[in-house]
Amino acid sequence: MDTRESKTREEEKQHLLDERVPEDFDASQPHLQPEAKQKPPNRLHQVIPLVVVAVGIIVAGLLILGIGGSGG
């Protein structure tokens, strides 16, 4: 294992060229990657917007009707 911290100019150049090579998507195997095996999201992501809208309507109704404590 190479534990040197500094590289020569040629080693650095070769390293940068190796890093710039794009991934080969034709040979990729996503079915072998653990993140590809995740379960589909549950229905919570569909319920949250409905809850936010319902709470907004309730708060707006309370403000319009004057219920909420700015007494009179």
Position 68 confidence tier, pLDDT thresholds 50, 70, 90: low
Domain count, the chain: 1
Quick check: 62 and 68 in contact, CB under 8 A?
yes
Please indicate whether residue 35 or residue 62 has the higher confidence score (pLDDT). 62
Query: Is residue 53, in this structure, part of any structural domain at all?
Result: yes
| pTM, two decimal places | 0.39
Residue 17 lies in a domain: no
Residue 57 resides in a domain: yes
Tokens read off for 36: 């590809």
Decide if 47 is inside a domain.
yes
* pLDDT score of 53: 96
pLDDT at 4 (0 to 100): 62
With a cut of 80, say whether residue 26 has pLDDT above it: no
pLDDT at 30 over 60: yes
- Where helices occur in the chain by DSSP H, the ranges are 9-20, 44-65
Establish if 72 belongs to a structural domain.
yes
Q: Give 51: exposed, middle or buried? Use CB within 10 Å, 0-12, 13-18, 19+.
A: exposed
Would you say residue 56 lies in a domain?
yes
CA dist., res. 5 & res. 12, Å (int): 11
**Residue 70 belongs to what domain range?**
43-72
